[in-house]
Amino acid sequence: MPGQLSCKPCPAPYRLGPAGAQNLSQCGGQCAPGQFSSDGFWPCQPCALGTFQPDPGRVRCVPCGGGLMTKYEGALSFKDCEAKVHCAPGHYYNSSTHRCIRCPVDTYQSDFGQNYCIACPGNTTTDFDGATDVSHCKNQQCGGELGEFMGYIESPNYPGEYPSNADCVWSINPPPKRRILIVVPEIFLPIEDECGDVLVMRKSALPSSVTTYETCQTYERPIAFTSRSR
């Protein structure tokens, strides 16, 4: 803890910790990956056949499941389990059916031969199942209201690729009788989308409002728009 006047000694026989240890786990003596003990410290035993342990300092090993065995004792990961098939990234091994299953939406798996998928972080999600990288997790939330003297409008999941089927609505509500300047540095909308993605500006949020600008093309040069609030 900060502000202490002395250090506590590591308990015997774990007096091997490095200088600056901050907790008991840094004193040394933890069971290595592929091992376990009743308290996670020495003396340790190797994981039995059919089990594995990828992390240090654990009190048990993880079974392969489905009656699968490991190639040896002290296995480190599910990759050491003798699965009937090694699943590609974007898939996980189902120990009940002994088949590779695509990672569901909201998850991904970038490694070979795993028996799980990883949940997307935060409020992100994937556009499809079978995602192979965390970059496929995209933030669907977008839009908001700008009422100050300056603000920034961003596309969904900026600066990453924007997700599919996402509606992003920004409202600009400045004080009365103010001049409004909107600068769009660049617009990138792939031509192969065939206008599936569109940038639209309207005088109000109503769908029936007058459209002041609409495009589904790419513009590398800045575009500026001016108006005045009532």
Residue-level pLDDT at 159: 80
Mean of the pLDDT values across residues 51-68? 97
Q: How far is CA 172 from CA 146, 169, 212, 229, in A?
A: 5, 10, 14, 10
Strand-strand pairing, 144-146 and 170-172: parallel
* Closest to 103 measured CA to CA, from 71, 74, 138, 128: 128
Residues with Cβ within 8 Å of residue 77, at least 6 apart in sequence? 52, 54
Model confidence over 167-196: pLDDT tens digits? Answer: 888 998 888 888 889 999 988 887 787 888
Q: Which two tokens stand for residue 208?
A: 């029936």
Model confidence over 163-174: pLDDT tens digits? Answer: 888 888 899 888
In the chain, the domains with their CATH numbers are 8-82 (2.10.50.10), 83-139 (2.10.50), 144-228 (no CATH)
CA dist 215 and 96 (Å) reads 51
- Strand positions, DSSP E, 42-146: 45-46, 51-52, 62-63, 91-94, 99-102, 107-108, 118-119, 124-125, 138-139, 144-146
Q: How many CB atoms within 10 Å of residue 32? A: 16
Bridge partners of 8? Answer: none
Q: Helix or strand or coil: residue 135?
A: helix
Minimum mean pLDDT range among 5-9, 80-84, 89-93, 141-145:
5-9
Strand-strand pairing, 51-52 and 62-63: antiparallel
